[in-house]
Amino acid sequence: MKNLRGLLGSALIAAAACAIPATAGAVQIDGAGATFPYPIYSKWFSEYNKVRSDVQINYQSIGSGGGIRQLTNQTVFFGATDGPMTNDQLVAAPGKILHFPMVLGGVVPIYNLPDTGADLNFIGTILADIFVGKITKWNDPAIAKDNPGATLPGSDITVVHRADGSGTSYIWCDYLAKVSPEYKAKVGVATAVNWPVGLGGKGNEGVAGLVKQTPGSIGYVELIYALQNKIPFGAVKNYDGNFVRASLESVSAAAAVAADKMPPDFRVSITNAPGKDVYPIASFTWILLYQNPKDKAKSKMMLDFMKWALSDGQKLCGDLGYAPLPANVATMVATALNSVK
């Protein structure tokens, strides 16, 4: 008991010591937003602090919606989001807000069918039909058609979706709404939607846990989460008609193709992008900045960081399982940074 108390005491002291910022006197830049890029952002911030010890960036991963709200209320210097801001949101902000893609993410379908004998292939329209409740059995001919090698049971399909508002849901819905007009009409695209069927899990871990526990279930998680936890996932048919399994390369490829038609504000959806090896359920994640912020000194430091993140920073992506921006897109974004004052 005494030992335990001693241990607790020293743990508290250690925690207190950590709480004191290591670099007193450094300029602090505060940001808030998406949870999806949080691991790579915090890696960037700590690595960048080694290069430039006079800059300390704090990031609260409170969710894309919270990030947009805090940026609009000007309580943070920068925001971060997994889904681009809507026109209404942009108009509501007190100044012009710019979007800058930083890295890429993919979303993959995961399922629990113990004895299929092969990895499953999915078509977007069929995934949409499953998620609106039109296809309810695993041995539905529509699924069987693209999975000749797999034995599909006659059991019910249990749909598992995210219960919390999430950028992952946004990307998933964005893709399904693009390929299925019915999905677009019935469900729509947002970080949280009115799911017609199924049950919810909180976070990637919640969805993955439910799918793992429930035979006959299907859900969706971030590619990074599936890779890190070695969860098998299905391939999805892309715009060109090939079944592609998600990987860092096939997700980056989606952005490379989009570079030709990139709108100047970078608010672009790259789901269902054309290209032979492109994985269709991919998206940028953005950092949001005011074009004309009040604090020019801070703005300069933030821009320096962004340029670093778009060059040296991109090399850190792979280790953490993020798909880096293709070189041509990174250059475009770095050039666009010059418009920030």
Residues that bind another protein in the complex, under the rule CB under 8 A: 62-66, 68-69, 89, 156, 158, 163-166, 187-195, 198-202, 206, 209-210, 213-214
d(C-alpha 254, C-alpha 284), whole Å = 10
Q: Which two tokens stand for residue 138?
A: 């695993």
Q: Which two tokens stand for residue 317?
A: 């992506």
154 CB-contact burial (10 Å; exposed 0-12 / middle 13-18 / buried 19+): exposed
Residue 202 gets which letter from DSSP?
A: S
**The tokens 């715009």 sit on which residue?**
239
Q: How far is the CB of 158 from another protein (least distance, A)?
A: 6
Nearest Cα to Cα of residue 102 among 321, 339, 281, 307:
307
The smaller minimum CB distance to another protein, of residues 88 and 319, is found at 88
The smaller minimum CB distance to another protein, of residues 63 and 313, is found at 63
The smaller minimum CB distance to another protein, of residues 68 and 317, is found at 68
Q: How far is the CB of 164 from another protein (least distance, A)?
A: 4
The smaller minimum CB distance to another protein, of residues 206 and 307, is found at 206
Strand partners, 105: 283
The smaller minimum CB distance to another protein, of residues 156 and 249, is found at 156
The smaller minimum CB distance to another protein, of residues 124 and 198, is found at 198
d(C-alpha 322, C-alpha 71), whole Å = 25
Q: How far is the CB of 170 from another protein (least distance, A)?
A: 9
Q: How far is the CB of 311 from another protein (least distance, A)?
A: 31
The smaller minimum CB distance to another protein, of residues 250 and 271, is found at 271
Q: Find out whether 286 and 37 touch, Cβ atoms under 8 Å.
A: no
Q: What SS3 class is residue 326?
A: coil
Q: How far is the CB of 34 from another protein (least distance, A)?
A: 9
Q: How far is the CB of 13 from another protein (least distance, A)?
A: 23
Q: What SS3 class is residue 260?
A: helix
Residue type, 266: F
Q: How far is the CB of 90 from another protein (least distance, A)?
A: 12
d(C-alpha 182, C-alpha 186), whole Å = 6
Q: Are strands 282-290 and 78-81 parallel, antiparallel or unpaired?
A: antiparallel
Measured in degrees and rounded to the nearest 5, phi and psi for residue 190 equal -170, 170
Q: How far is the CB of 53 from another protein (least distance, A)?
A: 32
Q: Which two tokens stand for residue 116?
A: 């299929």
The smaller minimum CB distance to another protein, of residues 111 and 305, is found at 111
